[in-house]
Every structure is written in structure tokens, then in C-alpha cells.
């Protein structure tokens, strides 16, 4: 192959041609062939699919810094071809571009275009892959939550069944301790009775149902028998000494098998209390004696105890013995044993806070 090279005296230096060289046909369109072996020239596919060699051109004028008109036309046509090839080639061309082996020479523009297109396609594929992965993780998270919800519901159902079974067992196997706790809860404020009050009637009904369901038919309450008598005593006491309050200090089981509760029973002495329980302290003209004046409005806190006897065979309470020390607080208020004796003389209550049987 013949290669012709133009020699000039200024060949070893930077050559700056005159203005006439810019206007000459040789400066615009002339070229010389460089000394590059033909087999090392880059190869591009033409429209027919056959490979072709492109000569590398080097102008000896300042316009060599820019591509010629023919080169620009060639690049433009090849860029369209590259874009179409990218859409058709698929992964094989993207893999080739990702290898990042740019071709030197006049194919640099094409290589850059191919790289940019492949990079854009790669980023698109990366975003698509991430979106697919995110959707899969989200779907899996929802499935996991649904599975956990089903497991929790099964666990709740099992625990609910277990609770019902245990509750039924506890109710059927009520012991003295449970009875005592419920008894003092229901009778903490006595029997609240008020005419026309549905709340009072409901509370009293709950108390009566509790006593009937947890006590024997021949229940012994102090000196009386039966659940009805026990509730009647509570009703009378709550009416005479209102307001009342029953508190438990300690609950133990003694050597005889009785469950013993140490209590603090607080009652109030009102005008009704003096007229109904201590009528002998009131004068015939309706006025009150000096002792009655001392007791009026006093809150009496009485220490006492309540003893429960549990029937294991029946699973019910067989007897309840209750007493409270009313003598000590009255002695503290009146300051004289004689005065205390006069208070309990002909009274409808005993010093251990038991109602007189004849008047009940």
C-alpha cells in the first residue's frame, strides 16, 4: 500500500498556514494517508451487515482539530444504526458495552454514544430490578403478617377455651378464701336500701344471690338460721347506723379450721339511731338527754372479727359468726362505765354489736 506524506520545511514545528490555506480546496477537503496498517483500522458494520474499514484521516491544517463534513455525516448515520442495534441486540450488546473497552481513533464518538445508551439501559434495568425486589419484599411482608395474625388468633382461641375451662373449675371448686374475699367486697358498705332506688334493689339482689349460691340452706348466722335472716340483719344495721363501712385487716385460718377475718366496722350515731336503737336516751317531750347529746354525730370505729366455717363436702359456708366491740369506743367517748351501762340499758343492741332478737 502506497502512503504519501507531504513534507514542509516547518514539519518539525507547529505549522500555522496562511488565510489562503483555509480557503483552499486542499485545506478543506484534502487529506493525506497516515502510516497505520490496514488491519489495525477500526471496523464498523454497514447497512448491509458487512464489515468495512474506515481510513483514519489527519489533516495538515487547523481544521484537523474538528471532524470533516464526511466524518460528521458518517457519525450521524452510524449513531442511528447504533441505537437500532441496541434495541435489537439486547443483553449481548449491553454486556459488550459494559466491558468498557473503548475503541481508539475516529470511532470514539460512536463508542461514547454506545456507552451512554448502554449505561442508560443498565440504570433502567437496575431500577426495574430494584422495584421488583421491593414489591416482592412488600408482598412477602404482608404474607408474613397475615400468617402471624392467623397464629395469634388461634392462640387467642386456645387461651380463651383454657380460661373458660379454668373459670368453670374455679367456680365449682370455690373455697373459703374466695368466699370471704367476695363477701367483704359485697358487704363493704352494708346493704344500701333506698325507697324507689333501682341501684339499691340491684345491689341487694346481687348480695342475696351470692349468699344463696355459696351458703348451705341451714346456715347458722350468729344466733339465727338462714340466708334471709342474715340479709335482714345487715339491712337493719345499715338502716340504723348509716353510713356503715366494713374493712378487713387480716384473714387467717385457725387450728379449728375456721377462717377468721379481723375487721374494723365503722358506724355513725344519728338522731334516727338514738330514737330507734337507744329510745330510753330521749325524753318524752322529744328532747334528748345529756348522754344522747354526747353520742349524737359520733362515728364509732369498732374492732371485731368474722368467723367462717366451710363445709368441704358441700363446698359451701355452713356458719358465719360476727361480732364487734362497741363497748370500748363508747367508754372512750363517755368516759364513765356508769354512763356506758346506762346507754346499753334497754338498748336494741348489745355491747358486742348484736341486735336484740325480740326487736328484729
Say if residue 193's pLDDT is above 90.
no
Mean pLDDT, residues 321-347: 95
Confidence of residue 183 (pLDDT cuts 50, 70, 90): very high
- Residue 249: per-residue pLDDT: 94
Say if residue 299's pLDDT is above 90.
yes
Mean pLDDT, residues 245-274: 94
Query: Could you give the percent of the chain with pLDDT greater than 90?
Result: 49
Confidence of residue 301 (pLDDT cuts 50, 70, 90): very high
pLDDT digits (tens, 9 = 90+) for 259-269: 999 999 999 99
Q: From residue 87, how far is each of 80, 83, 84, 207 by CA, in Å? A: 11, 7, 5, 88
Q: Report the mean per-residue pLDDT for the chain.
A: 76
pTM beyond 0.75: the answer is: no
Say if residue 247's pLDDT is above 50.
yes
- Residue 35: per-residue pLDDT: 45
Q: Which of 166, 66, 139 is nearest to 106 (CA)?
A: 66
pLDDT digits (tens, 9 = 90+) for 1-33: 444 444 444 444 444 444 444 444 444 444 444
Mean pLDDT, residues 231-258: 93
Q: From residue 106, how far is each of 41, 53, 73, 103, 121 by CA, in Å? A: 9, 11, 13, 8, 24
pLDDT digits (tens, 9 = 90+) for 115-147: 888 888 889 999 999 999 999 999 999 999 999
Say if residue 54's pLDDT is above 90.
no
335 vs 106, higher pLDDT: 335
Say if residue 169's pLDDT is above 80.
no
- Residue 221: per-residue pLDDT: 94
Contact 269, 243 (CB under 8 A): no
265 grid coordinates: 366496722
Confidence of residue 205 (pLDDT cuts 50, 70, 90): confident
Confidence of residue 62 (pLDDT cuts 50, 70, 90): very low
Say if residue 358's pLDDT is above 90.
no
Say if residue 173's pLDDT is above 60.
no
Mean pLDDT, residues 229-242: 93
Say if residue 319's pLDDT is above 80.
yes
Say if residue 276's pLDDT is above 60.
yes
Domain annotation for the chain: domains and CATH numbers: 25-122 (no CATH), 176-359 (3.10.450.50)
Amino acid at each position: 500500500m502506497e502512503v504519501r506524506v507531504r513534507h514542509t520545511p516547518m514539519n518539525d514545528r507547529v505549522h500555522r498556514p496562511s488565510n489562503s490555506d483555509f480557503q483552499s480546496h486542499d485545506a478543506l477537503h484534502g487529506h493525506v494517508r497516515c502510516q497505520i496498517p490496514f488491519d489495525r483500522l477500526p471496523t464498523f458494520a454497514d447497512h448491509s451487515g458487512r464489515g468495512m474499514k474506515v481510513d483514519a484521516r489527519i489533516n495538515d491544517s487547523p481544521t484537523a482539530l474538528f471532524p470533516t463534513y464526511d466524518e460528521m455525516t458518517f457519525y450521524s448515520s452510524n449513531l442511528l444504526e447504533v441505537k437500532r442495534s441496541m434495541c435489537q441486540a439486547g443483553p449481548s450488546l449491553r454486556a459488550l458495552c459494559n466491558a468498557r473497552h473503548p475503541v481508539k481513533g475516529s470511532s470514539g464518538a460512536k463508542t461514547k454514544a454506545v456507552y451512554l445508551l448502554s449505561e442508560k439501559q443498565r440504570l433502567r434495568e437496575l431500577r426495574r430490578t430494584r422495584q421488583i425486589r421491593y414489591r416482592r419484599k412488600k408482598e412477602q411482608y404482608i404474607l408474613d403478617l397475615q400468617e402471624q395474625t392467623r397464629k395469634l388468633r388461634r392462640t387467642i382461641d386456645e387461651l380463651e377455651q383454657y380460661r373458660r375451662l379454668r373459670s368453670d373449675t374455679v367456680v365449682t371448686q370455690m373455697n373459703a378464701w374466695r368466699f370471704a374475699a367476695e363477701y367483704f367486697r359485697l358487704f363493704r358498705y352494708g346493704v344500701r336500701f333506698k325507697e324507689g332506688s333501682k341501684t339499691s334493689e340491684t345491689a341487694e339482689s346481687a348480695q342475696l344471690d351470692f349468699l344463696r349460691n355459696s351458703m348451705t340452706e341451714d346456715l347458722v348466722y350468729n344466733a339465727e338460721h338462714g340466708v334471709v335472716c342474715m340479709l335482714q340483719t345487715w339491712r337493719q344495721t345499715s338502716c340504723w347506723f348509716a353510713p356503715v363501712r366494713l374493712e378487713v385487716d387480716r384473714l387467717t385460718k385457725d387450728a379449728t379450721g375456721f377462717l377468721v377475718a379481723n375487721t374494723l366496722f365503722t358506724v355513725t350515731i344519728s338522731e334516727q339511731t338514738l330514737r330507734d336503737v337507744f329510745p330510753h336516751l330521749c325524753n318524752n317531750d322529744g328532747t334528748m338527754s345529756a348522754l344522747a347529746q354526747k353520742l349524737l354525730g359520733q362515728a364509732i370505729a369498732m374492732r371485731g372479727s368474722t368467723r367462717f366455717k366451710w363445709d368441704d363436702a358441700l363446698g359451701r359456708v355452713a356458719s358465719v359468726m360476727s361480732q364487734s366491740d362497741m363497748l370500748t369506743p363508747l367508754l372512750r367517748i363517755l368516759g364513765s362505765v356508769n354512763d356506758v351501762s346506762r346507754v346499753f340499758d334497754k338498748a336494741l343492741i348489745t355491747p358486742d354489736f348484736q341486735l336484740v332478737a325480740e326487736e328484729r
